[in-house]
Amino acid sequence: MRAAIVNVTGYAGVELARLLLRHPEVQLVQVTGRGSAGQPLVDVFPHLGPSALMIEPELTASADVVFSALPHKASAAIAQAVLASGARFIDISADFRLRDVAVYEQWYQVSHPCPELLAQAVYGLPELYRARIREARLIANPGCYPTSAILALAPVMELIEPDIIVDSKSGVSGAGRTLSLTHHYSEANESCQAYGLAGHRHMPEIAQELATQLKLRLAGDEPPPLALTFVPHLVPMTRGILSTCYARLRRECTLEELRERYRASYGDAPFTRLSEQPPQTKQTWGSNYCLVYPTVDKRTGRLVVVSCLDNLVKGAAGQAIQNMNLMCGLDERAGLAALPVYP
Amino acid sequence: MRAAIVNVTGYAGVELARLLLRHPEVQLVQVTGRGSAGQPLVDVFPHLGPSALMIEPELTASADVVFSALPHKASAAIAQAVLASGARFIDISADFRLRDVAVYEQWYQVSHPCPELLAQAVYGLPELYRARIREARLIANPGCYPTSAILALAPVMELIEPDIIVDSKSGVSGAGRTLSLTHHYSEANESCQAYGLAGHRHMPEIAQELATQLKLRLAGDEPPPLALTFVPHLVPMTRGILSTCYARLRRECTLEELRERYRASYGDAPFTRLSEQPPQTKQTWGSNYCLVYPTVDKRTGRLVVVSCLDNLVKGAAGQAIQNMNLMCGLDERAGLAALPVYP
Amino acid sequence: MRAAIVNVTGYAGVELARLLLRHPEVQLVQVTGRGSAGQPLVDVFPHLGPSALMIEPELTASADVVFSALPHKASAAIAQAVLASGARFIDISADFRLRDVAVYEQWYQVSHPCPELLAQAVYGLPELYRARIREARLIANPGCYPTSAILALAPVMELIEPDIIVDSKSGVSGAGRTLSLTHHYSEANESCQAYGLAGHRHMPEIAQELATQLKLRLAGDEPPPLALTFVPHLVPMTRGILSTCYARLRRECTLEELRERYRASYGDAPFTRLSEQPPQTKQTWGSNYCLVYPTVDKRTGRLVVVSCLDNLVKGAAGQAIQNMNLMCGLDERAGLAALPVYP
Amino acid sequence: MRAAIVNVTGYAGVELARLLLRHPEVQLVQVTGRGSAGQPLVDVFPHLGPSALMIEPELTASADVVFSALPHKASAAIAQAVLASGARFIDISADFRLRDVAVYEQWYQVSHPCPELLAQAVYGLPELYRARIREARLIANPGCYPTSAILALAPVMELIEPDIIVDSKSGVSGAGRTLSLTHHYSEANESCQAYGLAGHRHMPEIAQELATQLKLRLAGDEPPPLALTFVPHLVPMTRGILSTCYARLRRECTLEELRERYRASYGDAPFTRLSEQPPQTKQTWGSNYCLVYPTVDKRTGRLVVVSCLDNLVKGAAGQAIQNMNLMCGLDERAGLAALPVYP
C-alpha cells in the first residue's frame, strides 16, 4: 500500500514518517513540506536513518492513503483534490472534527474551505467508531487532548452529571515544532503552567463527542446540555498527556461496576486499556496505548477518571495509522506493535 | 536571635538551613538529624558552604526559636519540651494543623502526642492569620498543597458553591529526600501521574481552612458543608506547585470584581500577589512568593483560580521563617528578600 | 525460538523483555527475579501490557537462549549450568568481558566463579566480531560506555597516539533501578557531575578492546602500551550516552580520509552509522543505533570523535538481541527495527 | 550607588536585574532593551515583582556603573560614550576580553569598534586580577566557559604539559533567550550533544588567560606554546556548567600538594572553593560560587580537574556584580550572598 504525508516537518508529520517507514504493509512514497522542500528527509530528521525520500514542495505522487499534517484550513483546502484522486484522506488537523461548521468557524476564526465534505468525514476514534471508520474515505483524526478526555469519559456518560471538568497536563511536543518563547527550553523547563484559560479549541471537540456519547447511551431521551470546563497545562516533559476528569455520579456506583463498564467498552480495543493502578504517561511513551483509570472520591460522590497517552502517537500519528489500518482492511495493530519505551 | 533546626536532613530542613544561614537577624545555633548525626553539616550538604555546624543527635542548645522538620507524631512529641524551654516552636509537620484531634488521628493513623497543645497552635498562614501569628508561641506551619489551595480560594469563599475541586501539580522535591522507586530519577523523569486518589492528608487541612474562611465571611449564617475533591499530581520538575481550583460561582461576578477581592485580601501581603498573566511555577522558583490568578469560564459560569509557589519555600521553609519574623517582631520579609531564580 | 531472561527486574532486564515480547522469531518463555518473584510481570511493569508471564524465583524453563541481567559474579555463577542445558548464554554482566582474570578480579574485587569459560566467551560487539559471534555459545555483552567508546575509536586506532581520553556523558538509567541518593530525582535533576574519578570498571574493558584493535591493525608490530583516561559523567536525562574521545593523530589525515575509514569499517553494520552532523543522543532514543562522528581540531592536530547511543538498547538489551540474532542465524536486525523516538 | 543595564532582555541582562534589585548598595536607575522598549520591566519578567522601571530604548540616565549585556560589537560601540559620561563600564560581551585585536577579529568576524580601549580593559576574573579590577574603569567580564576552565587550571599551569583538553557541559540557558530549533524544548530535552566542534569563540579566551598564567608562573622563562582543545556540550538542564579539564603532569605530584596549591590560590576568594567531593552543578545553582576539584588519574599520570558554576551568575551577571563591588570599594560579596538553591 502506498502512503504519502503532506507537511512532514512538524512533530505529527515526522512521527507519521517514523511509524510508516517501519509499517509492514506500507510504502511511504512521498513526503512534502514547505520550508524544507528540496532537502533529503534524513538531513532534516537524522533519526529516520537511511531513506532516499526527498521533501517535496507539493503532493504529486499517487497514493492509496494521504495523511495531512497541515495546519487547519490549509488541510481542508487539499481534501477535495486528494479524494478526487481516489486516495483516502486522513486529516490530522482539526478541519473535519467539528460537525457544526458554525462552531468550527467560531473557534478557529476562519471560514471552512469545504463544508460539503463534513457529512462524510468520520471522527477517527476507533474505540467509538470502528465500524464507520472501516467504511470511511475521509477521517478527522482526533485531537490529542480530546482523545484522552473522550476515552476517559465515554463509557460512563449516562452515569454522571453533565457538569464536567477536564484538567489536562501535556508534554511540550504537543505545541509543535514551531519556535516560541513559551516553548524555548529554558522557559518551559522546570516549570508548570495552565494555558488556554480563555478557551481552548479542543473544548468544543470534547464537548461534541461527549454529548454524542451521552445521546447514544440515553437512547431516545433528550440529553441535558453539557457544561464542560477544560483547562490544559504545560508540563516539563517532551511527550505525554495525562487528563484528570471530574464529574458527580448521578447515582451510587461501586468501583467494580464502573470498571466493568470500561472493560465492556474497551474489551476488544487493542490499544485502550483499563489500568490496575493510577497510570503514568511514561507507561505509554512512544506507543499507541491509552490507559484509563476510573475511581470515586467517596467523600463527595465524585467520579475521577485519569487517562494517559503519548500525544504524538495515540494523540496523533499512531491513531492516524490505526485509522488507516481499519480503512484498508489491515490488522488494526499493524505497524503499531511497539511497546512503550520505559523508563 | 538564636534559632535551631530539628531534623535538618530532609528537604524542608535543609531549606531552612539555607535561608537561616543568610538571615540578617538570626544565628543558627544548632541543627539535628538522626542518620547523619556526628557529621559536619557541610559534608552532607556541600551547597551550604563554610559552616562550623555539626549535625547533632538531639536538640540541646538554648534557642529563641526552634523549627521542627521531623515527621508527624515525632514532631509533636518534642513540642512540650521546646515550649517549656521558653523557645517558640514552629512545626513544619502536620501535627498541629488539624484542630480536630479525631480528624488528625483518622488521617494520620496515630494518636496525637499532645492534644492539649492544639488550642494554642496557630495555623501559620500569614495572609489569613497575621495578627494571631504575632502573638503565637506554637505555629502549625501549613502544608505545601494547602498553602497554594487556600491562598487561591480564601478571598472568594462566600461567592462560590461549596463544591470544590483542587487539581494540584507538584514537583518531586515535595516527596522528600527519602528514597522510593516512585521518586527514582528514571521513574519520575518524563512522566506525569496522579496520586493519593484514595485520599491525601492535605485534603482535610484544605477543607478545614476553607470552611473556616467561609464561616468568617458569612458572618453568622450557618455555612453549608463543603464538598472538596483534591487530587495531587507528580510532575517532572524539582520544585514548584501549581494548583488549579474549580468551583461554580453563586452569582455572576465580573473578572474585575473578583480581582479586586484578591487585591483587597492580599494588598498588604508581601509575598502573595495577584498575577497579571496565568502564572508559572518558574516565576516563584527559590523564592517565598505565591502568585494567584482568578479567571471565569464564561460558558459554564465556573470560577477557575490558578495559584503557584515554590513548595520548599512558601510551601515550607520560607513560610516558617515568615512566621518566625512575625512572632519575633522582625520585618516580615527579613531573610526572604531573594527574587525567584529565572529562567 | 525460546528465550528466557534471568533477573528481569532491572532496567536491562525489563528492556530485554520489552524487545523480546515483540521479536518476530522469539517466544519469551520465562523471566526470573528475586525481589518480585511470584508476581505477574505486568504488575511490576505495566508498560509491558497483557502477558501471562509470572516472575519466577529461579530459571527452570528450557530455552534456546538465556539472557542474564544478573549482577556480576552472580551471572557467571549460572553460566555453566545454562550452557550445560544446551542453551546459548548471553551475559549482560561484566563477568566474561575481561579476558584476563586477574584484571577482572582487581577491578571487580571478587574471585571469578568460572575462569575456565573465559576462553570460549566472545565479546559481543558485532561491528568487530560478527563472524565469531555467529559461532559463539557464550557472549559477553559489552558495557554501555565501552560500546560507545570502542565504536568511536576502533577504526582509527593505528592512526592515533596511544594516549587517549574518553569523556562520556550518560543518562541516569545507566545506574540502574536500585535506589540511591545520587539517582533520587531531586538530586540528579538539573545537575551534572563527573563520577568514577578514582577509576571506573569500564576503563579496563575499553582499554582491552582498543589495544586488541590496535594490535590487529598493526599486524605484527608490537603495539605501544595504551594510556587511557576515562571519565564518565551523569547528565539529567533518562537514556543516552554521548562519548567524546580525544587523541592526537600520528600523521596528518584529511577529514574525508577519516570518514572513509569509518565507512569502510561500518559499511555493512546495520546499526552503526557515520553521522553527517554532530550527533545527539535523542537521535538514538529507544533504538539500537550508534552514531559516530569524527572530526579534527586543526589547531592542535587532535582527533575528536563523538559517538552516541541509547545505553539500554545498543548499550545493553538491544545489542544482546543483536548477538542472539547472529548466534541463531536470524536476520541481525530482527526485533530491532524500531526507529529512534524523536523528539 | 546608581547602576544601569543596557539590554536587559537577554538572560544575562535579566539576571543582572534580579541581583541588582536586591543589592544593598545599589539603585537600579535604568534598564534598556530594543524589542521590548516601552514596556514595564515586570510585564516582560513577572518574576522581578513590583518595580516601576520601564524598559527604555536607549541609555539616558546618569549612572555610576553601566552593565552592558549587548551582543559583541554593539557593546564596544557604546563603551566610549559610557566612559566619557564618567561611569564605569562592565561589559558582559566578548568585546574587551581578547587583548589581541587580530584574534578578536578573526574569531568574531567583525572589526573592533574601539581597539584603543583594549589597553585599559581589565579581564574581570577577581580570583586572578583582584587588585587591577579595583582600579579599573572598563571591565571585560569573562565568558561562562572560560571562567570555569581558567579557575580549574590557573593554579597548576606550570605543573602541566601545555597540551590541554577542556570538555565542558553546559545547561541550555547559556545559549540565551533568542529562539532557535536547537534550544526548542522538545529538541533539547532528554538529549546531549557536542557543538562548536569547528572552533568555539571561548577557546581563544581560555587560551589567552592560561598562557598568561603560565607566563606569570614561569617567571621569566619563555613559556611553551599552548595546545588547547575545547569542546562544549549541551546538556538538558537550564543552568550550570561543568568543565572537565585534562592535562599530563610534568612531574609527579601528590594530590595533597595539588590541593594545597588550589587552597593557596583561592584561600581568600569568597566564591571559589576547593571541593571535598566531585562537585555537581546543582551545588552552585542560582549562586556566585565556583567549585573546583583536582584529581590525578594515577594510571596515566594525568591531571583531571573538574569545576562547576552557574553560567548566569558566576559565569555572567554575578561575576559582573562582583567586579562592580571591587571597582566601587564595596564588600566583594555585597548582593551575592545567596546560597545555592538545592535541590
Q: What is the pLDDT of residues A226-282, one digit of tens each?
A: 999 999 999 999 999 999 999 999 999 999 999 999 999 999 999 999 999 999 999
Is D273 in CB contact (< 8 Å) with chain B? yes
For residue C245, which phi and psi values (nearest 5 degrees)? -115, 135
What is the rounded distance in angstroms from the CA atom of residue B7 to the CA atom of residue B83?
17
What is the rounded distance in angstroms from the CA atom of residue A125 to the CA atom of residue A319?
8
What is the rounded distance in angstroms from the CA atom of residue D235 to the CA atom of residue D195?
11
* Cell numbers that stand for A143 in this block: 485531537
Total residues found in chain A within this entry: 343
Four-way CATH pick for A145-311: 3.40.50.2300, 3.30.360.10, 3.90.25.10, 3.10.50.30: 3.30.360.10
**Cβ pair B198:A295 closer than 8 A:** yes
The pLDDT score that the predictor gives to residue D65 is: 98
Q: Kindly indicate the confidence band of residue A219, based on its pLDDT and cuts at 50, 70 and 90.
A: confident
Written out in words, the top-level CATH class of the domain with range C145-310 is alpha beta
Looking at chain D, the domain(s) classified CATH 3.40.50.720 span: 2-120
How would you write the pLDDT of chain D (343 residues) with one tens digit per residue? Answer: 999 999 999 999 999 999 999 999 999 999 999 889 999 999 999 999 889 999 999 999 999 999 999 999 999 999 999 999 999 999 999 999 999 999 999 999 999 999 999 999 999 999 999 999 999 999 999 999 999 999 999 999 999 999 999 999 999 999 999 999 999 999 999 999 999 999 999 999 999 999 999 999 887 778 889 999 999 999 999 999 999 999 999 999 999 999 999 999 999 999 999 999 999 999 999 999 999 999 999 999 999 999 999 999 999 999 999 999 999 999 999 999 999 999 9
Other beta carbons within 10 angstroms of residue B49's beta carbon come to 18
Other beta carbons within 10 angstroms of residue B200's beta carbon come to 18
Helices (H) and strands (E) in chain D, counts: 10, 14
The pLDDT score that the predictor gives to residue B35 is: 87
The pLDDT score that the predictor gives to residue D70 is: 98
What angle is formed at CA A201 by the lines to CA A200 and CA A204, rounded to 5 degrees?
105
The pLDDT score that the predictor gives to residue C256 is: 96
Q: Which of D82, D61, D52, D59 is nearest to D13 (CA)?
A: D59
Mean of pLDDT over chain A: 97
pTM of the predicted model over 0.80: yes
Q: Which of D228, D250, D243, D232 is nearest to D163 (CA)?
A: D228
Instruction: Tell me the shortest Cα–Cα distance from D75 to chain B, in angstroms.
Output: 23
**What is the pairing mode between strands A302-309 and A290-297?**
antiparallel
Looking at chain B, the domain(s) classified CATH 3.30.360.10 span: 145-310
Summarised one tens digit per residue, pLDDT across range D116-135 is: 999 999 999 999 999 999 99
SS3 call for D246 = strand
**Cβ pair A46:C279 closer than 8 A:** yes
Instruction: Tell me the shortest Cα–Cα distance from B108 to chain C, in angstroms.
Output: 26
Asked if D47 and B240 touch (Cβ cutoff 8 Å), the reply is no
Helices (H), D170-293: 185-188, 202-218, 255-266
Q: Among partner residues C227, C229, C236, which is closest to D237 by beta-carbon distance? A: C236
The catalytically annotated residue of D144, D245, D253, D308 is D144
Other beta carbons within 10 angstroms of residue A50's beta carbon come to 8
Query: Cβ contacts (< 8 Å) between A190 and chain C: which residues?
Result: 190
The pLDDT score that the predictor gives to residue C35 is: 87
Is pLDDT above 90 for A47?
yes
Summarised one tens digit per residue, pLDDT across range C161-198 is: 999 999 999 999 999 999 999 999 999 999 999 999 99
Q: Kindly indicate the confidence band of residue A223, based on its pLDDT and cuts at 50, 70 and 90.
A: confident
Asked if C193 and D280 touch (Cβ cutoff 8 Å), the reply is yes
Summarised one tens digit per residue, pLDDT across range A319-330 is: 999 999 999 999
The pLDDT score that the predictor gives to residue D221 is: 77
The pLDDT score that the predictor gives to residue D222 is: 83
> Which is more confidently placed, A224 or B141?
B141
What radius of gyration do chain C's Cα atoms show?
A: 19
**What is the pairing mode between strands B241-248 and B163-170?**
antiparallel
Is C290 one of the annotated active-site residues of the chain? no
Q: Which of C276, C262, C284, C264 is nearest to C336 (CA)?
A: C284
Burial of D96 (0-12, 13-18, 19+ CB in 10 A): buried
Mean of pLDDT over chain C: 97
Over residues A26-41, the mean pLDDT reads: 96
| Number of CB pairs, chain A paired with chain B, less than 8 A apart | 152
Q: For D221, which DSSP code?
A: S
Over residues C235-242, the mean pLDDT reads: 98
Distances (CA, A) of B263 to A4, C86, C207, C312: 56, 78, 67, 53
**Cβ pair C186:B11 closer than 8 A:** yes
SS (H, E, C) chain C: CEEEEECCCCHHHHHHHHHHCCCCCCEEEEEECCCCCCCEHHHHCHHHCCCCCEEECCCCCCCCEEEECCCCCHHHHHHHHHHHCCCEEEECCCCCCCCCHHHHHHHHCCCCCCHHHHHHCEECCHHHHHHHHHHCCEEECCCHHHHHHHHHHHHHHHHECCEEEEEEEECHHHHCCCCCHHHEHHHHCCCCEECCCCCCCHHHHHHHHHHHHHHHHHCCCCCCCCEEEEEEEECCCCCCEEEEEEEEECCCCCHHHHHHHHHHHHCCCCCEEECCCCCEHHHHCCCCCEEEEEEEECCCCEEEEEEEECCCHHHHHHHHHHHHHHHCCCCCCCCCCCCCCCC
What is the rounded distance in angstroms from the CA atom of residue D84 to the CA atom of residue A27?
70
Residues 6+ apart with CB under 8 A from C132: C122
SS3 call for A93 = coil
What is the rounded distance in angstroms from the CA atom of residue B216 to the CA atom of residue B158?
9
Q: Is this complex scored with an ipTM above 0.85? A: yes
Q: Which of D36, D49, D332 is nearest to D28 (CA)?
A: D49
At D17, which helix (H) or strand (E)?
helix D11-20
Q: What's CA B222's distance to the chain center, in Å?
A: 28
Q: B touches which chains (3+ CB pairs under 8 A)? A: A, C, D
Over residues A175-202, the mean pLDDT reads: 98
The pLDDT score that the predictor gives to residue C38 is: 97
What is the rounded distance in angstroms from the CA atom of residue C297 to the CA atom of residue B166?
57
Residue type, D154: A
Burial of D109 (0-12, 13-18, 19+ CB in 10 A): exposed
* Cell numbers that stand for A30 in this block: 512521498
Q: Which of C9, C10, C6, C115 is nearest to C66 (CA)?
A: C6
DSSP class per residue in A103-150: HHHHHH-S--S-GGGGGG-EE--HHHHHHHHHH-SEEEPPPHHHHHHH
Mutate which of B190, B244, B300 to disrupt the A interface (most A C-beta within 10 Å)?
B190
* Cell numbers that stand for D128 in this block: 586572578
Task: Classify each residue of B94-125 as buried b or exposed e, where b means 16 or more C-beta atoms within 10 Å of its C-beta.
Answer: bbbbbeeeeebeebbeeebbbbebbeebbbbb
Mutate which of A180, A183, A186 to disrupt the D interface (most D C-beta within 10 Å)?
A186
Looking at chain B, the domain(s) classified CATH 3.40.50.720 span: 2-141+315-327
**Cβ pair D339:B190 closer than 8 A:** no
- Dihedral (Cα; C115, C120, C121, C125), 10-degree rounding: 150
Beta bridge partners of C170: C234, C241
For residue B212, which phi and psi values (nearest 5 degrees)? -60, -45
Query: Cβ contacts (< 8 Å) between C282 and chain A: which residues?
Result: 47
Is the domain spanning C2-120 CATH 2.30.42.10? The answer is: no
Question: How many CA within 13 A on the CB side of residue B82?
Answer: 28
Residues 6+ apart with CB under 8 A from B20: B3, B5, B26, B28, B321, B335
Residues 6+ apart with CB under 8 A from A211: A223, A226
Give the architecture-level CATH label for domain A2-141+315-327: 3-Layer(aba) Sandwich (3.40)
- Residues in C 277-306 with any Cβ partner in D closer than 8 A: 278-283, 285, 295, 297, 299-300, 302, 304, 306
SS3 call for B223 = coil
Is pLDDT above 90 for C220?
no
What is the rounded distance in angstroms from the CA atom of residue C153 to the CA atom of residue C210?
7
Mutate which of C15, C43, C184, C238 to disrupt the B interface (most B C-beta within 10 Å)?
C184
SS3 call for D201 = coil
How would you write the pLDDT of chain B (343 residues) with one tens digit per residue? Answer: 999 999 999 999 999 999 999 999 999 999 999 889 999 999 999 999 889 999 999 999 999 999 999 999 999 999 999 999 999 999 999 999 999 999 999 999 999 999 999 999 999 999 999 999 999 999 999 999 999 999 999 999 999 999 999 999 999 999 999 999 999 999 999 999 999 999 999 999 999 999 999 999 987 778 889 999 999 999 999 999 999 999 999 999 999 999 999 999 999 999 999 999 999 999 999 999 999 999 999 999 999 999 999 999 999 999 999 999 999 999 999 999 999 999 9
Question: How many CA within 13 A on the CB side of residue B14?
Answer: 23
Query: Cβ contacts (< 8 Å) between A279 and chain C: which residues?
Result: 46
What is the rounded distance in angstroms from the CA atom of residue B229 to the CA atom of residue B242?
16
- Residues in D 308-327 with any Cβ partner in C closer than 8 A: 308
Evaluate the CA torsion angle B141, B144, B148, B149 in order and state its sign: negative
Distances (CA, A) of C302 to C254, C296, D297: 12, 6, 21
The chain A residue lying nearest D234, using CA atoms, is: A185
Distances (CA, A) of B282 to A238, B204, B241, D46: 17, 28, 10, 10
- Residues in C 183-242 with any Cβ partner in B closer than 8 A: 183-190, 236-238
Other beta carbons within 10 angstroms of residue A152's beta carbon come to 29
Query: Cβ contacts (< 8 Å) between B180 and chain C: which residues?
Result: 179
Q: For D40, which DSSP code?
A: B
Distances (CA, A) of A45 to A9, A14, A317, C171, C343: 9, 8, 16, 22, 10
Instruction: Tell me the shortest Cα–Cα distance from D225 to chain B, in angstroms.
Output: 37
Looking at chain D, the domain(s) classified CATH 3.30.360.10 span: 145-311
The chain B residue lying nearest D311, using CA atoms, is: B343
